[in-house]
Amino acid sequence: MEKTKVIGQTKDAGFEIGVRKTFPVSVEQAWNFLFSDQGLAIWLGGINPNEFDINQGYKTAESTAGKLTVFKPYSHTRLTWRRKDWDNTSTLQLRVINAKGKTTISFHQEKLLNNNQRDEMKAHWDAVITQIGSYLK
């Protein structure tokens, strides 16, 4: 009997979700906004940018916690991500991609526990990308 593939379920990384949108700004403008106080507050949460550094743990005002593991300016970042009410830790990747003079911002989250957590994060990242869009018009 063949097992039915569930949307968003990976072979060995649990569930995943990806959200992306293209904006009419340069990669530099998008990156600089995402890592400004205002940008960080939108996608990561309330955090002092000086406390968000490579190979360091972080905790936001909303109690999301993790560790920044990759930071390639004007390209991508990778971090662990755990909400205060979660029993698991996921992995979040944020990319800025040159799209012919525009920039695509991409959030990809994996190692989600189940489809419910995937749906929760899909709604979250959809809202985040919409909010980012209100600044990067």
pLDDT, tens digit (0-9, with 9 covering 90-100), for 68-111: 999 999 999 999 999 999 999 999 999 999 999 999 999 999 99
Residue 56 belongs to some domain of the structure: yes
List residues bridging with 82 in a β-sheet: 65
Residue 127 belongs to some domain of the structure: yes
Sequence-distant (6+) residues with CB within 8 A of 12 are none
Residue 9 belongs to some domain of the structure: no
Residue 40 belongs to some domain of the structure: yes
pLDDT, tens digit (0-9, with 9 covering 90-100), for 116-135: 999 999 999 999 999 999 99
Site of tokens 């995402």: 34
- Look at residue 16 and give its three-state secondary structure: strand
Full domain range(s) for residue 128: 15-135
- In total, how many domains does the chain have? 1
Sequence-distant (6+) residues with CB within 8 A of 65 are 57, 58, 59, 82, 84
Residue 10 belongs to some domain of the structure: no
Residue 8 in tokens: 């968003």
CATH of the domain at 108: 3.30.530.20
Read off the pTM: 0.91
Q: Which stretches of 1-137 are DSSP H helices? A: 27-34, 37-43, 115-135
H or E, element range at 118: helix 115-135
Residue 59 in tokens: 């905790």
